[in-house]
Amino acid sequence: MIVIHHNPKCGTSRNVVAIVRASGTEPVIIDYLREGWTRAQLLGLFAAAGLTPRAALRANVPEAAGLEDADDEALLAAMVKHPVLVNRPIVCSPRGVRLCRPSEAVLPLLDNPPPPDFRKEDGKPLDA
């Protein structure tokens, strides 16, 4: 099973969903902006992906203002309050957990590659 913590407004996130589907797997999609996060969930995902809260922070959104010097606990609290602060997509598979930016970062998590002629939504081929 592959789980994608997905933002449907994000092109990279949509590409990852398409790549997984093209590989022959229907992912479980979690719209984390709707569902939100728990502190424990974030800690588990970050530990599994080898990320720190700072490394997973989406710093280019208004909700990140004032978090430049925040410690991990403050970042986690902000991420729970404002789910948009977590960069995406985060993909969980039996092969591991990754923040899949760029979208090609999902490839090592798949049992089967997408077809060689697969194109991202902008028409570009995957950089495998």
How far apart (Å, rounded) are the C-alpha atoms in residues 28 and 24? Answer: 13
Residue 116: asked if its preceding bond is cis (omega within 30°), the reply is: no
Q: Which residues pair with 96 in a beta bridge?
A: 93
- Structural domains in the chain, CATH included, are 3-109 (3.40.30.10)
Q: Cβ distance 72 to 42 under 8 Å? A: no
Residue 128 has pLDDT above 80, yes or no: no
Task: Single out the residue of 118, 113, 88 nearest to residue 12, CA to CA.
Answer: 88
Residue 37 has pLDDT above 80, yes or no: yes
Could you read off the pLDDT of 54-94 as tens digits, one per residue? Answer: 999 999 999 999 999 999 999 999 999 999 999 999 999 99
Q: Cβ distance 80 to 37 under 8 Å? A: yes
Q: Which of 3, 10, 64, 80 is catalytic?
A: 10
Residue 11 has pLDDT above 70, yes or no: yes
* Mean of pLDDT over the chain: 96
Catalytic residue flag (residue 92):
no
Per-residue model confidence (pLDDT) at position 127: 80
Question: For the whole model, what pTM was predicted?
Answer: 0.94
Q: Give 12's pLDDT tier (boundaries 50, 70, 90).
A: very high
How far apart (Å, rounded) are the C-alpha atoms in residues 10 and 8? Answer: 6
